[in-house]
Structure 1
Amino acid sequence: MFGFVRLSYCQWRWIRGTLNMAFLHDYVGVRAFSKLSQADVDQQYEEAVQTLNCLQSNAATLQRVRQDRGMLLSQNVPSTERFLKRVGVSLDDIDKLCVIHIAGTKGKGSTCAFIESILREHGYRTGFYSSPHLVAVRERIRINGQPIPKEDFTKHFWDVYNNLVAEKESEDDMPAYFKFLTVLALKVFLREEVDVAVLEVGIGGEYDCTNIVRKPVVCGVTTLDLDHTSVLGKTIESIAWQKAGIMKPGVPIFTVDQQLRPAMSVLIERAKEKKCRLFVVPPLESYGWGTQPLQLGLAGSVQYGNASLALQLSQYWISSQLKESSTNIRSASTPSSSYEGLKVAAPFTLSDVELCGLKSAVWPGRSQ
């Protein structure tokens, strides 16, 4: 007699994913590399990376940005729109992406990694744009949790690069490194028809290239602190103002409990200014875990706040896709603090899918 083996949800997903990858390797992999040898693919990829590296801002450019901070930064979003148009992508096209936009000082990448893992476990096709990369630039643009393959990166890179070169109005009329990759990522996500695009802000928010997104589904702000002071300002208030720039009218925004009180005050004022609702996420321990232990794929108690933020953002995004009433966000009572009227989003009982998403999240090099 054969006995039945009970598998956890994570184990079942791993087995199914392994079988799917094996099939794709046999069927798609052979077809994809039938025309090019691996050596050719590697060479073309390296040529693309070398060309991309030529777009790095030099020391003189960075110094000019620091000196003329306001004027140059304010041109970031308009110039990103201009470059997108040159590669055939309009703002209306960008509006078709279902975006979760994340800003902050600490934990942006980790929060995005949790979100992407949770939504992928739910069965959604994910796109994830982050920075910086750890080993290879392809890590910045991920589809379904994986850096895009060398061959795909090379193909998309030259498509975008050649179109930009052909439309140049002057010798230096090309986007810098990060702006180029932002244009590239958005075009890749559109072509790949991802269900959700998780975008991590580069620097700041108000004038960041990723703020080209006009209609995100939901936004998040991680822990705020002093960072990039030569560009964003030397006070926590000025930095919080910049980070809160991703807020959009009518789009809810979630944040962690900010330890620096001036930062939270700025977020509250910016939310009023932008006419959007601001929610603080609850402690991770307050969620319903059932019989499962609290277990995260990313090490350190610092990840608890990032995981709670990811859960709230993921839940809201899924509700919006299921056409549920996203105007009624579940919230607890006003927190026992001096922030009058600020609501705490309600914790909820986690499903096996969400538990697996938190547990299987991977973000190499952080806290390792």
Structure 2
Amino acid sequence: MMARLPRAVPAAWLKVHRSLQSGVEGKGAGHGANAGAWWWRRRRSYNTAPTKAALRLPRMEYQDAIMALNTLQTNASTLEQIRREQQLGRTKGTLEAMKSFVHRAGMKIEDFDQLAIIHVTGTKGKGSTCAFCEKILHEYGLKTGFYSSPHLVQVRERIRINGKPISRELFTKYFWQVYNRLDETKDIDAGAMPAYFRFLTILAFHIFLHEKVDLAIIEVGIGGAYDCTNIIRRPVVCGVSSLGIDHVSILGDTMEKIAWQKGGIFKPGVPAFTVSQPSGPMSVLVERAKEIGCFLQLCPDLEDFWSEGERLSLGLAGEHQKSNASLALQLCRTWLQHHNHPDFPPFQQPLDFAERYEMQQPPISSGFCLTTPMINGLRDTKWLGRSQILKRGPVTYYIDGAHTIGSIKACVKWFQEHSLKEAKAVGSGPVVRVLLFNTTGDRDAAALLKLLMPCQFDFAVFCPNLLDMAQNLNAAKCGLDQKNYTVSLENMLSRCLDNHRAWCKLTEVKHDNLWNLTGSTLEGSTTFVKRGGLDEEMLLLRGPECEHITTRALVFPCINNGLQWITQGRDSDLQPSLAKPPNVHPAGVAALKEASSIQILITGSLHLVGGCLKLLDQSLSQ
């Protein structure tokens, strides 16, 4: 259903028109001096004047912009058609369509050459790598732009300037500039508007050009070769983080096929770096580099870098972050070399680089002495929803958006290490471990859940990525930024039940031992309790006759209900559910109420993590 947009309000337009003239959110005090004489800004002309479309803007409110943006979400049938076309190799048209949208939005592809781009792809770790790069280069006094996906709480998190999500005012202003330009030129492309991610990519480039950032760090959405971010012609440097199996319906079902897609961001004459990869996909990356004419190098271990007296530490937890940090250091040094920074001599790409690939392995780049901005940047990097710990009295939330085999393995290692330290600190009191889990897309939930088994959870809780059951009736209170029109509520709940079945099978809990809300055994193959429609609560709980099995599995209809049950009122900062509280079977409640510590691992989906953070940290919604 298309959202109705409010009519234009002249007074609101006047306010925005003034902000266009004054140039809100400039470089910031002392920026030019900090950047130093080594960096000169490219000032090629880019038209920033309001267009005719901008004069017909709707009310300039953030929520109106998000409502309009949500109309660009692709429905399930269209998504399936896109997947079929991608499987048939008809994806080259994606970039041609993107170029057309960029032109209709009032830009040229050549304009993006001004942005001094770092382009990063990979299966896991690409967001963290970009976050490290952003912080390091901002420490050098540069005005940074960073485009990433998905967002956790608010859409504007995807477009960051100087390490912070763009303000609501600027998002709204620039959104309507781009949206109205595209809307008034729909007839050019038979009434087409770009889909959600394409639009946000165009918007990010538009914002970075208008805000005159010194550099733009661009994280690939999915894949690389045909990702809409790959309209970039001349990045300064490219990076490939760790590869793994993900998005198989789009990228292919082997790591070699996926590596081919990721290597598609390489550009002729542009240096590129990757981290250690399995031999098969590494060979593919090398072949792609040779074919395209790109000098690909392998990052050294983080231990191969050194500093003069300053201790090296990472702001992001987990052993896996070391390779991301190493990749970020190489990307940042190359960017600085390209712009003649005095700390690093200019990079000279060897003419015979294709001959340097031995045994399908790229040459290893050398470590180097880290500068103070690099050390400070690595130490101070923050990246919400990744290896994040939130302590609330007796309740500790371990939050990690891992959703692939490799990232779940890293998540398990991180959780076991830190939860064990906490348990030892608690002493002799009982500690209860709870898993809060969901998956999206075509991911193999059973494979991910199997990797989580060593954590020895006392309870496993499954819920869709819905904040609250009231979200379906009152989106304004729950947040339009997290509305998802690409999948139905029934499908989301069915996915949770599939995850629940997989967990029960792993823990040898039989479905005929599931109990409903009143405590009576479910009959036959019944999979969920339906009371007056899907707007009411739905809960599955292992029955008390199975006490010899330690893990109990539950399904809730929304995140809020799940968290309310897990915490049992022991987190005073957790806001109560907008819907009526679920009528929960009493089994297990005493253990949660009496525990000295409740350790909750939230994982499997970045969208689940985003919903949890919205409920747990109100400041993220401001």
Measure how far apart 1:19 and its partner are.
Answer: 9.2
- Give 1:98's aligned residue: 116
Structural mapping, 1:332-347, within 5 Å: 339=359, 342-347=362-367
Scaled by the length of structure 1, what TM-score is found? 0.84
Measure how far apart 1:88 and its partner are.
Answer: 1.3
Amino acid at match of 2:304: S
- Give 1:253's aligned residue: 272
The separation in 2 between residues aligned to 1:94 and 1:82, in whole angstroms, is 15
The separation in 2 between residues aligned to 1:44 and 1:208, in whole angstroms, is 30
> 1:243-271 deviations in whole A, cap 9, x for unaligned?
0000000001100011x211100001000
Measure how far apart 1:80 and its partner are.
Answer: 1.2
Q: Determine if the alignment matches structure 1 residue 366 to structure 2 residue 386.
A: yes
- Give 1:62's aligned residue: 79
Q: Determine if the alignment matches structure 1 residue 50 to structure 2 residue 71.
A: no
> 1:304-325 deviations in whole A, cap 9, x for unaligned?
0000000000000011011753
Q: Aligned-pair RMSD on alpha carbons? A: 2.4
Structural mapping, 1:91-240, within 5 Å: 91-169=109-187, 172-240=191-259
The separation in 2 between residues aligned to 1:155 and 1:91, in whole angstroms, is 22
> 1:24-59 deviations in whole A, cap 9, x for unaligned?
xxxxxxxxxxxxxxxxxx981011011101111110
Contact 1:65–1:72 (8 Å) recurs in 2: no
Measure how far apart 1:72 and its partner are.
Answer: 4.6
Contact 2:266–2:272 (8 Å) recurs in 1: yes
The separation in 2 between residues aligned to 1:341 and 1:171, in whole angstroms, is 47
Structural mapping, 1:287-306, within 5 Å: 287-306=305-324
> 1:99-155 deviations in whole A, cap 9, x for unaligned?
000011000100000000000001111000000011100000001111110000000
> 1:255-303 deviations in whole A, cap 9, x for unaligned?
0011x21110000100000111110000001111332333101110100
TM-aligned CA distance change 1:46 to 1:72, over 3 Å: farther
TM-aligned CA distance change 1:199 to 1:18, over 3 Å: closer
Identity within the alignment, % = 51
Partner of 1:83, secondary structure, is helix
Partner of 1:354, secondary structure, is helix
Give aligned pairs, total. Answer: 327
The separation in 1 between residues aligned to 2:235 and 2:225, in whole angstroms, is 14
Contact 1:98–1:216 (8 Å) recurs in 2: yes
Higher fraction of helix? 1
TM-aligned CA distance change 1:298 to 1:18, over 3 Å: farther
TM-aligned CA distance change 1:357 to 1:58, over 3 Å: same
Partner of 1:343, secondary structure, is coil
Measure how far apart 1:171 and its partner are.
Answer: 6.3
Measure how far apart 1:235 and its partner are.
Answer: 1.1
TM-aligned CA distance change 1:303 to 1:145, over 3 Å: same
The separation in 1 between residues aligned to 2:94 and 2:115, in whole angstroms, is 20
The separation in 1 between residues aligned to 2:104 and 2:90, in whole angstroms, is 21
Q: Determine if the alignment matches structure 1 residue 282 to structure 2 residue 263.
A: no
Structure of greater Rg: 2
Contact 2:282–2:361 (8 Å) recurs in 1: no
- Give 1:315's aligned residue: 333
The separation in 1 between residues aligned to 2:327 and 2:377, in whole angstroms, is 14
Unaligned runs of 5+ in 2: 1-26, 31-58, 389-622
The separation in 1 between residues aligned to 2:135 and 2:201, in whole angstroms, is 21
TM-aligned CA distance change 1:66 to 1:196, over 3 Å: same
Scaled by the length of structure 2, what TM-score is found? 0.50
The separation in 1 between residues aligned to 2:190 and 2:213, in whole angstroms, is 35
TM-aligned CA distance change 1:341 to 1:240, over 3 Å: closer
TM-aligned CA distance change 1:122 to 1:56, over 3 Å: same
**Aligned pair partner of 1:83 in 94, 101, 104:** 101
Structure with the greater relative contact order (CA < 8 A, sep ≥ 6): 1 or 2? 1
Amino acid at match of 1:45: Y
Instruction: After the TM superposition, list the runs of 4 or more consecutive aligned residues in structure 1 that deviate by more than 6 angstroms.
Output: 17-20
Contact 2:283–2:361 (8 Å) recurs in 1: no
Amino acid at match of 2:208: F
TM-aligned CA distance change 1:45 to 1:341, over 3 Å: closer
